[in-house]
Amino acid sequence: MPSSLPACLLKTPLGSLHAELGARMVPFAGYAMPVQFPAGLIAEHRHTRAAAGLFDVSHMGQLRLAGPDAAAAFESLMPVDVIGLAPGRQRYGLLLNDDGGIIDDLMFFNRDHGNGGDIFIIVNGACKAGDIAHIQEKIGSRCEVTALPEMALLALQGPLAATALQRLAPGVGELVFMTGGRYTVAGCDCFLTRSGYTGEDGFEISVHASQAERLARALLAQPEVRPAGLGARNSLRLEAGLCLYGSDIDNATTPVEASLSWAIQKVRRSGGARAGGFPGAEKILAQLDQPAILKRKRVGLTALERVPVRDHSPLQLSDGTPVGEATSGLLGPTIDRPVAMGYVRPDLAAIGCRLQALVRGKPVPMAVTALPFVPARYHRD
Nearest to 235 by CA among 199, 201, 193, 204: 199
Q: Is residue 118 part of a domain?
A: no
Query: In whole angstroms, what is the distance from residue 210 CA to residue 189 CA?
Result: 11
Residue pair 280/96 in contact (Cβ under 8 Å)? The answer is: yes
Q: Is residue 16 part of a domain?
A: yes
Nearest to 97 by CA among 290, 253, 298, 244: 253
**Confidence bin at 381 (pLDDT 50/70/90):** confident
Predicted pLDDT at 294: 97
Which spans in 273-366 are helix H? 281-289
Tell me the torsion sign for CA atoms 44, 368, 356, 257. negative
Q: What is the DSSP string of 34-49?
A: EEE-TT-HHHHHHHHH
% of the chain exceeding 90 in pLDDT: 96
pLDDT(368) > 80: yes
Predicted pLDDT at 115: 66
Q: State the number of CA atoms in the 13 A half-sphere of 196 facing the CB.
A: 35
First to last CA, the chain: 43
Peptide bond connecting 363 to the previous residue in cis, omega within 30 degrees of 0:
no
Reported as a single tens digit per residue, the pLDDT across 317-337 is 999 999 999 999 999 999 999
Compute the average pLDDT of residues 221-239.
Answer: 98
Q: Is residue 17 part of a domain?
A: yes
Reported as a single tens digit per residue, the pLDDT across 13-35 is 999 999 999 999 999 999 999 99
pLDDT(38) > 80: yes
All residues at 6 or more sequence positions from 133 whose CB lies less than 8 Å from its CB, including other chains: none
Burial environment of residue 7 by CB neighbours within 10 A (0 to 12, 13 to 18, 19 or more):
exposed
Reported as a single tens digit per residue, the pLDDT across 139-172 is 999 999 999 999 999 999 999 999 999 999 999 9
Predicted pLDDT at 3: 46
Name the more confident of 228 and 113: 228
Reported as a single tens digit per residue, the pLDDT across 247-274 is 999 999 999 999 999 999 999 999 999 9
How many independent structural domains does the chain possess?
Answer: 1
Element containing residue 220 per DSSP (H, E): helix 209-220
Q: Is residue 245 part of a domain?
A: no
Question: 3-class SS at 75?
Answer: helix
Residue pair 50/235 in contact (Cβ under 8 Å)? The answer is: no
Which range of residues forms the domain containing residue 17? 10-56+150-228
Q: Is residue 30 part of a domain?
A: yes
Q: Is residue 20 part of a domain?
A: yes
Query: In whole angstroms, what is the distance from residue 87 CA to residue 14 CA?
Result: 31
Q: Is residue 344 part of a domain?
A: no
Predicted pLDDT at 263: 98
Reported as a single tens digit per residue, the pLDDT across 277-307 is 999 999 999 999 999 999 999 999 999 999 9
Question: What's the CATH code of the domain at 178?
Answer: 3.30.1360.120
**Average pLDDT value for the chain:** 97
pLDDT(216) > 70: yes
Compute the average pLDDT of residues 3-22.
Answer: 92
Degrees to nearest 5, angle at CA 47 with 44 and 51:
140
Compute the average pLDDT of residues 222-227.
Answer: 98
Reported as a single tens digit per residue, the pLDDT across 332-351 is 999 999 999 999 999 999 99
Beta strand pairing call for 180-185 and 151-157: unpaired
Query: In whole angstroms, what is the distance from residue 215 CA to residue 205 CA?
Result: 10
Query: In whole angstroms, what is the distance from residue 315 CA to residue 312 CA?
Result: 9
Compute the average pLDDT of residues 54-59.
Answer: 98
Predicted pLDDT at 1: 42
Q: Is residue 271 part of a domain?
A: no
Beta bridge partners of 330: 339
